[in-house]
Amino acid sequence: MPAKKEHLDPPDFPHSRLLRWYRQHRRKLPWRPRKKTNTDPGVVVNPYHVLLSEAMAQQTQIATVVPYFERFVAAFPTVHDLAAADEQQVLKLWQGLGYYRRARHLHAAAQTIVEQHDGKVPCTVDDLLNLPGVGRYTAGAIASIAHNQPAPILDGNVARVLARFDRIETPVNDPLTLKQLWARSEQLVQSAPKASRGDFNQALMELGALICTPPPGSPKCLYCPLGNDCRAFADGRVEQLPVKTPKKKPTAVTHLVVAIEKNGKLLFEQRPPKGLWSNMWQLPTWELPPEARDSDSPPAGRGRGRVPKPKTYRAHSDKPEASSTLPQPLPAGGALKAHLRERFGLNVAAPGFVDVFKHQTTHRTITFRVYRTSAKAGRLKPRTGQWRRPDELHDLPLAKPQLTALTLLK
């Protein structure tokens, strides 16, 4: 048997130490081979599993992904099963994970793979980039992890590791810096041992997740396999890097939720295919436009997002202890009732206030005001919603605030 050729590290990066560290300390993840590395003989990475995990891991911590991944693989063991699935079922399994567009992109990607790639996850970055929901990072990750291609990756972890290792002081989200980081990532994966391209990329990310951690808190530089080769560490600048440009603050908005009961069932509607919580279901909900909050006009037009406005902000003022914090506004009974009649063809009793809670997203702080009423007469307009018993929502994908509202209604 011929002696295994030794890989020589380039002078400016200790590939060998990083790979050795990775093989000892990597987390056990359900899409990783059990004990060996992904390039050992007899150990095969499942490219479909890699696709699933990468789609779920976008902007999401790995620990959060794991249980979702397990349920997904159980429900859709192969890419064919996923391609043939109903989108509502895919969204239901994605419920709680956020960025629901990813689920629909993944579903469409599975169908593309079945129809155009004979059910096999593509090997090349170019083919991968043509899949919906697959961008530069995900294409590189799948190509390298599933197929051991020398394709570069750049995610939050790698950007942080490289910015520190190379002591890059410019903002890592600056386009020029991004270009530099991508070039560095490519150089590094191409100079990694040929049999370990996937492991090398995963090692960079694993280092960022376990050792070269983001603030708050300190990175564990004393345990870092890169040691003093890291320029930021050598110069005492690790805690100052990477530099990021400040982000915009979320805007405050208010959503009105109305639970309409009839014969023990509640009315649910589906959100539009674009925007927040696309294609998810909800109790009838409207966003209150900031400019219309204090006026007394009925909602303009009939689309989602149009707003029945509260008649007044001061309510329950005759009950002092009812509101130790904020006043509990009541919806404009007349305008709201007219709106429900126009939109769903339903006549409802005067809505009663149930509760209020806040929901935080990246770009909004949403105050949800929950009301309850019952439908008295009128037939539901076709295709405007569904009546569901609250204990039979197992197939309806619902976002977090809707689950919260349903809990408060019980």
Partner DNA sequence: AATTCGGGGGG
Partner DNA sequence: CCCCCAGAATT
Instruction: Determine, following the binding rule CB under 7 A, whether residue 104 of this chain makes contact with DNA.
Output: no
Q: Which of 142, 110, 109, 108 is nearest to 124 (CA)?
A: 142
Q: How far apart are CA 72 and CA 371, in angstroms?
A: 35
Out of 54, 269, 291, 342, the active site residue is 54
Contacts (CB under 7 A) with DNA, residues 328-357: none
Of 25, 316, 359, 388, the residue at the interface with DNA (CB under 7 A) is: 359
Q: Which of 363, 376, 381, 389 binds DNA (CB under 7 A)?
A: 363
Instruction: Clarify whether 115 is annotated catalytic.
Output: no
How many binding residues for DNA (CB under 7 A)? Answer: 58
Which of residues 37, 38, 53, 270 is near DNA by CB under 7 A? 53
**Which of 85, 123, 221, 276 touches DNA (CB under 7 A)?**
276
Least distance from DNA to the Cβ atom of residue 148, Å? 15
Which amino acid would we find at residue 10? P
Site string for DNA, 153-192 (x = CB under 7 A): --xxx--x--------------x-----------------
Question: Should residue 124 be labelled a site residue for DNA when binding is judged by CB under 7 A?
Answer: no
Binding residue for DNA (CB under 7 A) from 76, 137, 182, 344?
A: 137
Candidates 16, 58, 78, 374: give the one binding DNA (CB under 7 A). 58
Binding positions for DNA, rule: CB under 7 A: 29, 53-54, 57-64, 96-101, 105, 132-139, 141, 155-157, 160, 175, 202, 205-206, 208-209, 214-217, 244, 246-248, 274-278, 359-363, 399-401
